[in-house]
Amino acid sequence: MTYCVGIMTHEGLVLGSDSRTNSGIDMVNACRKMHTFVKEGSRVLVLLTSGSLSLSQSVVTLLRREFEQEAGLAAAPTMYDAARTIGTQIRNLAALDRESLERDHFHFNINVLLGGQIQGGPPALYLIYPQGNPLMATPDSPFIQIGESKYGRPILDRGVRYHETSLEEAAKYALISFDSTMRSNATVGPPIDLLTYVADEFAIKRYRRFEEGAPDLKQIRRRWEQSLRRAVRDLPPIKFSPSDPLPE
């Protein structure tokens, strides 16, 4: 399983991915799901992938080949075009692999989160589906998750607001969202790749790979759980109602 999340706020972007990959429960390995395509000063594109590792490796390989020839993600004039470039490569890959996979009852399963900024436009965050079509994050829906998304969603729903949440806070929400997911699902796991991108920087200046057992990650978990317990204790007591008829 995989968990990746992108958050867009008025200050910029937060992007994070786990590194657990498995084919069935017996074979658990680590693998990066974050990929960066950067031309300092003019464009920063970060891809997070979920689904079949074979398919996401192929898509990144095809995109990297184009990028190194100054085409594809190196040439896309806007973030929308960059998302379409990824969609096109997903469709190219579908033409290569989909029929063979489906013959043996595998799904053609790949989702890509794209976050970044291309000079001339604002930062943007897209999800590109296995069919190749893109979905954009908006101020009303300022985060997108892929993979095992449910455990880590409530904290984002409660906390992340496009116009109000600072980038530093958004990064903390992302880490807590990862921690919640890893606690409830053993097939999502460290290392966690996390970066924040400040609008108009056109370079990646704040990146961190949190290894398993990183002391500050453990400290954040400990303090977070202490805060939650205190918050529950401080809630007003629940009022029960002797007049409500018991359900038959």
> Where along the sequence are the contacts to a copy of itself (CB under 8 A)?
32, 34-36, 38, 64, 150-155, 157-159, 168-169, 171-173, 175-176, 180-181, 183-184, 193-196, 204-209, 216, 219-220, 223-225, 227-241, 244, 246-248
Q: Assign 16 to helix, strand or coil.
A: strand
Torsion sign, CA atoms 234, 235, 236, 238: negative
- Nearer to a copy of itself (CB atom), residue 30 or residue 77: 30
Nearest to residue 180, comparing CAs of 198, 158, 200, 209? 158
- Residue closer to a copy of itself, measured from CB, 38 or 75: 38
DSSP assignment letter at 113: E
Structure-block tokens of residue 62: 């095809």
CB of 81 to a copy of itself, least distance (A): 22
- If the CB atoms of residues 73 and 108 are measured against a copy of itself, the closer one turns out to be 73
Other beta carbons within 10 angstroms of residue 52's beta carbon come to: 19
Using the minimum distance from each CB to a copy of itself, give the nearer residue, 142 or 152.
152
79 burial class (0-12, 13-18, 19+ CB within 10 angstroms)?
Answer: buried
Minimum distance from residue 195 beta carbon to a copy of itself (Å): 8
Could you tell me the smallest distance in angstroms from the CB atom of residue 194 to a copy of itself? 7
Closest distance to a copy of itself from the beta carbon of 244 (Å) = 5
Would you say 26 or 240 has its CB closer to a copy of itself?
Answer: 240
- Other residues' Cβ atoms within 10 Å of the Cβ of residue 227: 10
Give me 70's structure tokens: 């100054």
Q: Give the shortest CB-228-to-a copy of itself separation in angstroms.
A: 6
